[in-house]
Amino acid sequence: MRNTVALLGGLFFLFCGNQVLHAQQAVAHRPNIILIIGDDISVDDLSCYNQQALPTPNLDKLAAEGLKFNRFFVTASSCSPSRASILTGRYPHNTGAAELHSPVPSHLAYFPELLKNSGYYTALAGKWHEGPNTARAYDTMLLKHNGAGGEAQWEQLVRATPANKPFFLWLAAHDAHRPWDNESDSPFTSEDVRVFPHLVDMPGTRQDIASYYNEIYRLDQYVGKLLKVLKEKGVLENTLVLFVTDNGRPFPGSKTLLYDRGVQSPLLLYWPDGIAKPGAVSDALISSIDLAPTFCELAGVSASHQFQGRSFAGLLNKPDQRFRNYVFLEQNWHDFEAHARGVRTERYLYIKNNRPQFNQEGPLDVKAGAAVTDLRIARNRNELSALQQSIYTSPRAAEEFYDTQSDSLQFGNRIDDPSFRREIRRLQKVLKRWIRQTGDDCPDQLTADWYNPQSLERLSAHQKRGVMPGAVKKATYNNRKGPF
């Protein structure tokens, strides 16, 4: 009997020892993860997404040797609400930070913190405006701009990562956010640019776009430097580098709007050890709230029950699979009062405007740019096309519906087209169900304009907040995912 007990005990400890060994090996082989967030860049402004006028060779390398996603959407075309969604895996109204520069509350889970608690070294460099509570998610924070678009800190941060644990880096570039600061490094001139169809082809606009190009180009160059230092450190093969942007380009008709040029982002995933088919392309529909659970799964960490997104890690091996049926979109206050909701499928876009009395000229930084000045000059001359004029429309349609397959610019509103009646009704119902299930609402007392829309001078309402969408329904405690 004693020998039997000893044998069983030995087997038990052997089993446990093997389990511990396997667990240690799994931890040892967990990938390093780097999330690069470009600032105010639309998906079609990278050459790997068919932008011919602006070469982005290093981002193209991520696509050519990694995995490119064609249908990735952020939850809001506004900086901090979009980033809060990425951080928490939740919709803006469920983060408590649906409006620009609102802090994320402390009771929510932040995915870098989950990685940190599981043994990852975590660090942030660059832009940080998700609120003071989120600092707890990082071992190191480098918040100074420090030259270029904030990217100059990347190399030193990678070199300083500890050798005895995997690392996660949140690299938040300031490029290509206004105001431009690239006069010393300007390979592109006004003659090199492609003028977007919703803007006017005038000298000021061309120079405005050239400066935008230069910031994207600079960001791309630092991506190349990052890959080089990862290789020098000997960690490139098992490092997942993922590139996204927080919202669309900082030009009228793009940033803060729910059209594709405002909310569709590039998603490039580069991981030599983890990509089954380098150079593959996925057409799966993905929301930015799906990033947090995906990172957790790839790191071997349990996803938080608070995440409203789902992991798309399976697409790394089978990129041709479908994923979502819907992504949901929010427009909330960003310098000026706003409230709209949208639902996007692979083909269609439905938008419900809850403040149609306001036009869509853009946020403060956009309004201060040369492109808006040129639009106003051309408008006074009655020289705008219908598309260019559309940002001034007031009141706007309370509802919008677009067939993105035949209308990539989402200009021809088909809400009254009987041939789309069934699809419109379906998406109306889906959006209502999402609003109900996730605890969204449209408060009567939204945050008002902080600036005069024309002169851009501060108003008496400056720094005064209204009622946050979702606050009355305590949406930060609502973990329901809504339709998928």
The average pLDDT across 153-177 equals 96
pLDDT of 476 higher than 80: yes
Pair 199, 252: CB distance under 8 Å:
yes
pLDDT more than 90, % of the chain: 90
Residues paired with 400 in a beta bridge: 351
Residue 148 — φ and ψ, nearest 5°?
A: 50, -135
- Confidence category of residue 19, pLDDT binned at 50, 70, 90: very low
Question: How many CB atoms sit inside 10 A of residue 65's CB?
Answer: 14
Would you state the pLDDT for residue 51? 78
Measured between alpha carbons, how far is 58 from 39 in angstroms, rounded to an integer?
17
Report the chain's mean pLDDT, rounded to a whole number: 93
The CATH architecture assigned to 29-325 reads 3-Layer(aba) Sandwich (3.40)
Measured between alpha carbons, how far is 203 from 370 in angstroms, rounded to an integer?
9
**CB within 8 A of 31, min separation 6: which ones?**
166, 238, 239, 240, 271, 273, 274, 298, 299
Predicted TM-score (pTM) of this structure: 0.93
Both tokens assigned to 4: 């039997």
Query: How many residues are given for the chain?
Result: 484
DSSP state of 392: G
Q: Pairing state of beta strands 32-38 and 167-172?
A: parallel
Both tokens assigned to 57: 């060779």
Pair 282, 68: CB distance under 8 Å:
yes
DSSP-assigned states of every residue in 297-344:
HHHT-PPPTT--S---GGGGT-TTS---S-EEEEE--BSB---EEEEE
Would you state the pLDDT for residue 22? 36
Within the chain, all domains assigned CATH 3.40.720.10 are found at 29-325
pLDDT of 447 higher than 90: yes
The average pLDDT across 338-349 equals 98
pLDDT tens across 254-311, in order?
A: 999 999 999 999 999 999 999 999 999 999 999 999 999 999 999 999 999 999 999 9
Instruction: Of 44-48, 186-190, 274-278, 308-312, give the lowest mean pLDDT range.
Output: 186-190
- Comparison of pLDDT for 377 and 185, the residue scoring more: 377
pLDDT of 410 higher than 50: yes
Measured between alpha carbons, how far is 259 from 316 in angstroms, rounded to an integer?
27
pLDDT tens across 144-163, in order?
A: 887 788 999 999 999 999 99
**CB within 8 A of 384, min separation 6: which ones?**
200, 375, 378
pLDDT tens across 214-251, in order?
A: 999 999 999 999 999 999 999 999 999 999 999 999 99
Would you state the pLDDT for residue 183? 66
Would you state the pLDDT for residue 1? 42
Would you state the pLDDT for residue 9? 44
Both tokens assigned to 350: 């439905």
Element (H, E) at 34: strand 32-38
